[in-house]
Amino acid sequence: MTDAPLLYYEPPAPLPTEYRVGLCAWQDKSMLEEGHFYPIKSMKAEERLWWYSRFFDCVEVNSTFYAPLAADNAVRWVKRTPAGFLFSVKAYALLTGHHLDAARLPEPLQSMLPASARPNARGQLENTLFPREAYDWAFATFREALRPLEDSGKLGYVLFQMAPWVRYGREALDYLASLPDRLPGLTLAVEFRDASWLPAHTDEVLRFLGERGLSYVSVDAPRTPAGVATTVALTSPVAVLRLHGRNAAGFLKQLRGESPSVAEKYGYLYNEAELGEIVARGRGLAGHARRVYFKLNNNVGDAPAINGIQIRELLGLDNADRTGVEAEWRRRRARCPRLYEYECQGCRRRVSLLVRSVAGHTSPRCPRCGSAELSRLMSRFATVKSEDARLESLGDPSQYGDLDENNPKSVARFMKRMGQEMGEDLGDDLDAAMDEAMAEPGGEGEGGLSEGGLADAGIGDEG
């Protein structure tokens, strides 16, 4: 029998409850290397997000734990996802009691450290080394970077996953009490990882969160003596259930002071009975919560995606037809302009040509000497390991006007229009590339984008 949830928030009247299901990362390393959720291994980041958003309506951003969120990334995410999609963002490690990797420390934080600060044996700077102004900077930077998501209505919750050594006590409570003032107007969710919170002080902790409008994160994880209880509780209109898997061996390994891999600690595929129990616990919040999130953090291969789709089925939510999504993705790919790099056998120059589609890529000619003897080279673009070079989901290229592929000014005008239409997806990198391309000797008469033009300007290297 499923235990009833603990209710520390009650709406004035019963609420219609919305259920959301998503993963705790859409580019988890294990999923990309071992899984088959994505149709090919070489998909670019924007393609993966497009694909992911056809199967799930929300996601957690995990990378912001390791480095502060950049606002330009948030802008890209907004543009690449459908209306109604929600991003929940993990707070930076400094703000959750964790230690920071010295090699990746942002420059403003470096300048705030005392001269005596040194990394520990694991290359980390202890959290206690950072002064108050470091926290002020991190909160202000975080708040500003979240604005594109908030303004677009695509911000879910901000997750404060506290370090395992953050224990129940006055200092920690005072810090949590300050969060609503630090990040006003946002849904803030708190996940504890030590038994001193729950079960040791269950009533005090949940009442404290409820009084401050903070969402309690209920976890499903192996039960260990030091671990937080797996209680489902509601302390605000938004509930979060995070599923970490039930791999007890990995959790116990960490308790012994060892360093289990992500797969060792979180790798787990829930069976149908386990998922049925978890969904029933979430359904116990119906009428009380405005929104209930189920987030999968059981990261090994396709396990989180498989279980996420199963949870959607158990909730009665529609699942996308994979065959149909793949057909749509391939149609989008076929319509996209692409850059190819060749070596001309006539003039022995390297040339880069923009073509509308694979179908239009039949008999290209060298824009320098007119030779049709071109040897197609492997792409030199970062993250693309196939012969296809830069690929952007830009829709039907005809909407951007006529294109003379052998004329650099025509190419520049064409891609400039695409840049204006698509914003950050081409944006500043494209403008810089166009400047370099147009500075090449030859101009309109000689035509062509040769070595040092688009390819060498870095089109395709996405940060």
**Which element (helix H / strand E) includes 293?**
strand 291-296
3-class SS at 415? helix
- Compute the distance between CA of residue 215 and CA of residue 285 in angstroms, rounded to an integer: 13
Domains of the chain: 6-327 (3.20.20.410), 336-450 (no CATH)
- Kindly state the average pLDDT of the residues 285-310: 97
Give yes or no for a contact between 247 and 266, defined as CB atoms under 8 angstroms apart.
yes
Indicate the pTM of the whole model. 0.77
Instruction: Identify the band that residue 368 occupies on the pLDDT scale cut at 50, 70 and 90.
Output: confident
Instruction: Identify the band that residue 409 occupies on the pLDDT scale cut at 50, 70 and 90.
Output: low
Residue 233 has pLDDT above 50, yes or no: yes
The one-letter amino acid code at 457 reads A
How does pLDDT run across 312-356, given as a tens digit for each residue?
A: 999 999 999 999 999 999 888 776 656 667 788 888 887 766 554
Q: What is the mean pLDDT of the chain?
A: 81
At 389 the pLDDT is: 32
Q: What is the DSSP letter of 257?
A: T
Strands (E), 162-214: 188-191
Residue 444 has pLDDT above 70, yes or no: no
60 CB-near residues (< 8 Å, 6+ apart): 22, 23, 24, 25, 87, 88, 89, 90, 159, 295
At 337 the pLDDT is: 58
- Compute the distance between CA of residue 437 and CA of residue 391 in angstroms, rounded to an integer: 19
At 416 the pLDDT is: 53
**Cross-strand pairs, 355:** 338
Tell which residue, 35, 82, 89, 50, has the closest CA to residue 67: 89
**Least trusted range by pLDDT, from 5-9, 305-309, 453-457:** 453-457
Phi, psi torsion values for 226, nearest 5 degrees: -95, -10
Look at the chain and count its residues: 463
At 428 the pLDDT is: 33
Residue linked to tokens 């040092």: 452
